[in-house]
A = this chain, B = another copy of it.
Amino acid sequence: MTTTAINTKQFMTSEQLLEHWQGHRNLTRRVIESFPEKELFEFSVGGMRPFAKLVVELISIGGPALKGIVEKNMEGYNEEGFNPTTKAELLNKWDEETEVINRYFGQISEERFQETFNLFGQYEFPVYQNILYFVDNEIHHRGQGYVYLRALGMEPPFFWERF
Q: Which residues of A contact B (CB under 8 A)?
A: 1-2, 4, 6-17, 20, 24, 45-48, 106, 109-111, 113, 128-129, 132-133, 136-137, 139-144, 146-153, 159-160
Contacts and interface: CB of A to CB of B under 8 A. Distances in A.
Contacts of A13: 7-11
A10 to B, nearest CB: 5
A10 B13 CA distance: 4
A113 B10 CA distance: 8
A118 B71 CA distance: 42
Contact of A110 (B10, B45, B136, B146): B10
B109 A46 contact: no
Sorted from nearest, which 7 A-B pairs have the closest CB atoms? A143-B143, A46-B150, A46-B151, A2-B109, A140-B143, A9-B14, A9-B110
A6 B10 contact: no
A104 to B, nearest CB: 13
Contact of A142 (B9, B24, B140, B150): B140
A145 to B, nearest CB: 9
A128 B65 CA distance: 25
16 contacts: A2-B110, A7-B13, A9-B109, A9-B110, A10-B12, A10-B13, A11-B12, A11-B14, A11-B17, A20-B132, A45-B151, A136-B139, A139-B143, A140-B146, A144-B147, A147-B147
